[in-house]
Chain A
């Protein structure tokens, strides 16, 4: 066991170096290369899966952002529509009010005009009546001058009062 034979050393050198050389060329080189190749492809697959996962997350985020934006847009449109509706109603009301007021004013003016026309007509008639009444009175009793004068004056002042009242 402890004796070292030269023959053993020579044979071992030949056998061992041949094994190292042959295995190196025929086994280890392809095996290690193919293991590395497979490891790299697995690595690449894992990385691309991770990338895809990130992309999906990103896409989802984008979708959510888009959805939120759309929701905001809808709310805005609805709010605008509501505002518009209220404004339109308000405008219409204002226009209607204005029209009504204008018509009332017009009516008022018409009424005033009719009234003053009526008054002036009435005045003429009253004067006519007064003249009739005066002629009747003059024809019937002429002796009492003072009394006649008083009556006419009364009528006239009453008319004058009425006229100044309606004019004011």
Chain B
């Protein structure tokens, strides 16, 4: 009886947390940002819009970089009546005068041209957004540039919900919703064969348990690490899939170094905290190695402690970003040839489109594969940390 009450209380609480978080998320966003079409001239009024040639590198870098808006598409780009269709994310700044919270539409609606450059910056409320970085505005407003074209202004702490952070939240909430519902169907159909979503996900859960965790860590100790491994696998996978959905702003969550840095750091912390005597002996005083070699080996092993998670971070970021770059490159090809003549643009477009479809399918595989590789390597690192000495 008590058990039953407890279970239902937990279920209620979980429902409450999930639904509450989701509602809060939505209301929070709608308060600051709403999907709107705004007519804004992309250049300062009065200045004649000179035809800007297409720069593939710039376009690609812009798309894979983190941003303070989720940009869906733009109509009449380059014209005076350009319409940007974007979801404006909240800007949260811890400045000198405390917290500042406002919608990023305040930035994006008022771009200003930097003299002698195509670059634009946006200013609002004493802050400047330049290349998606937030600076304090100068005493007379605007930025002060050094000789390399980098702003010398000071930066506040930018706690904004950027595109990647928003993607992170969406992926996290989706994973939570999916697995809490799967958990409830496990409870409902206790001891019975899985059904529906449950039967789709159970092989993946068993795959992580039986093919990733148990061979790397060992059946006895694997249980302890299962929640982290399963969570990171499905979280990374979901975030990667989110980035592959067309017309959704092209999230590049796992291609954002700040995100993978955190994941790798968590792996590093778990590995280090769980390292047993054997693990540290293996690093600091390896058995069966001549003394002179130890002087070479031990520093390498110590550096290795940090290199391993760093590799984890770089691999994930690079793979996911690379996929986005390839697809964007095919898009760029169309515009590059389109600038020569419309015919060449259409001609190349057909080929590019086929390659894009092909790449998207490959990326779907990569999305899974990178989540798997991250989880597998994390499991191997955990395994090496808890492995018992079995020879020497």
Could you tell me the distance between the alpha carbons of A155 and B372 in the complex, rounded to whole angstroms?
Answer: 150
- Chain A residues in 8 Å Cβ range of B183: 26-27, 30-31
Could you tell me the distance between the alpha carbons of A29 and B164 in the complex, rounded to whole angstroms?
Answer: 29
From the candidates B161, B175, B191, B321, name the one contacting A23 in the complex (CB within 8 A): B175
B133 within 8 A of A: yes
Q: Beyond A18-B172, A28-B231, A32-B226, is A9–B258 a contact (Cβ under 8 Å)?
A: yes
- Chain A residues in 8 Å Cβ range of B158: 5-7
- Chain B residues in 8 Å Cβ range of A30: 183, 186-187
Within 8 A of B (CB), among A1-42: 1-13, 15-20, 22-24, 26-32, 34-35, 37-38, 41
Q: Beyond A3-B133, A19-B172, A20-B231, is A11–B165 a contact (Cβ under 8 Å)?
A: yes
Query: Chain A interface: which of B60-68, B72-80, B339-347, B379-387?
Result: B60-68
From the candidates A1, A8, A38, name the one contacting B255 in the complex (CB within 8 A): A1
- Chain A residues in 8 Å Cβ range of B231: 19-20, 23-24, 28
Query: Are A20 and B261 interface neighbours, CB within 8 A?
Result: no
Q: From DSSP, what is the main secondary structure of chain A's interface residues?
A: helix
Within 8 A of A (CB), among B214-234: 223, 226-228, 230-232, 234
- Chain B residues in 8 Å Cβ range of A31: 179, 182-183, 186, 205
- Chain B residues in 8 Å Cβ range of A27: 176, 179-180, 182-183
From the candidates A3, A16, A34, A37, name the one contacting B235 in the complex (CB within 8 A): A16
B310 within 8 A of A: no
Could you tell me the distance between the alpha carbons of A19 and B235 in the complex, rounded to whole angstroms?
Answer: 8
Query: Are B259 and A8 interface neighbours, CB within 8 A?
Result: yes
Q: Beyond A1-B65, A23-B176, A31-B183, is A6–B157 a contact (Cβ under 8 Å)?
A: yes
B262 within 8 A of A: yes
Within 8 A of A (CB), among B254-269: 255-259, 261-263, 266
Within 8 A of B (CB), among A84-111: none
Quote the shortest CB–CB distance from A168 to chain B (angstroms). 115
- Chain A residues in 8 Å Cβ range of B165: 7-8, 11-12, 15
Query: Are A16 and B187 interface neighbours, CB within 8 A?
Result: no
* Contact count band on B: 35 or more
B71 within 8 A of A: no
- Chain A residues in 8 Å Cβ range of B161: 11
Q: Beyond A8-B164, A27-B179, A30-B186, is A15–B227 a contact (Cβ under 8 Å)?
A: no
Query: Are B263 and A16 interface neighbours, CB within 8 A?
Result: yes
Write the B303-343 contact mask toward A (1 if CB under 8 angstroms, else 0): 00000000000000100010000000000000000000000
* Contact count band on A: 20 to 34
Could you tell me the distance between the alpha carbons of A6 and B317 in the complex, rounded to whole angstroms?
Answer: 17
From the candidates B14, B169, B206, name the one contacting A26 in the complex (CB within 8 A): B14
How many pairs of A and B residues are in contact by the CB < 8 Å rule? 132
Within 8 A of B (CB), among A44-62: none
- Chain B residues in 8 Å Cβ range of A37: 190-191
Write the A57-92 contact mask toward B (1 if CB under 8 angstroms, else 0): 000000000000000000000000000000000000
B101 within 8 A of A: no
Query: Are B252 and A29 interface neighbours, CB within 8 A?
Result: no
Query: Are B230 and A23 interface neighbours, CB within 8 A?
Result: yes
- Chain A residues in 8 Å Cβ range of B242: none
Query: Are B227 and A23 interface neighbours, CB within 8 A?
Result: yes
- Chain A residues in 8 Å Cβ range of B187: 30, 34
Could you tell me the distance between the alpha carbons of A5 and B164 in the complex, rounded to whole angstroms?
Answer: 11
Could you tell me the distance between the alpha carbons of A124 and B129 in the complex, rounded to whole angstroms?
Answer: 181
From the candidates B61, B209, B234, B261, name the one contacting A1 in the complex (CB within 8 A): B61
Could you tell me the distance between the alpha carbons of A5 and B91 in the complex, rounded to whole angstroms?
Answer: 14
Query: Are A28 and B159 interface neighbours, CB within 8 A?
Result: no
From the candidates A3, A13, A28, name the one contacting B230 in the complex (CB within 8 A): A28
B13 nearest CB neighbor, chain A only: A26
B162 within 8 A of A: yes
Could you tell me the distance between the alpha carbons of A27 and B162 in the complex, rounded to whole angstroms?
Answer: 28
Quote the shortest CB–CB distance from B99 to chain A (angstroms). 12
Could you tell me the distance between the alpha carbons of A47 and B61 in the complex, rounded to whole angstroms?
Answer: 60
Query: Are B159 and A10 interface neighbours, CB within 8 A?
Result: yes
Within 8 A of A (CB), among B116-141: 133
16 pairs, A vs B, C-beta closer than 8 Å: A1-B64, A1-B256, A3-B133, A5-B66, A8-B256, A9-B258, A9-B261, A10-B159, A11-B159, A16-B232, A16-B235, A18-B172, A23-B230, A27-B176, A34-B187, A35-B202
Q: A-contacting residues of B (Cβ < 8 Å)? A: 10, 14, 17, 61, 64-66, 92, 133, 157-162, 164-165, 168-169, 172, 175-176, 179-180, 182-183, 186-187, 190-192, 202, 205-206, 209, 223, 226-228, 230-232, 234-235, 252, 255-259, 261-263, 266, 317, 321
Q: A-B pairs with the 10 shortest C-beta distances?
A: A8-B258, A24-B227, A27-B179, A12-B262, A19-B172, A7-B159, A11-B165, A20-B231, A34-B186, A27-B183
Known: A12-B259, A17-B266. 12 other contacts (CB 8 A): A2-B257, A3-B133, A9-B262, A10-B159, A13-B262, A19-B172, A23-B231, A23-B234, A26-B14, A27-B180, A32-B209, A41-B191
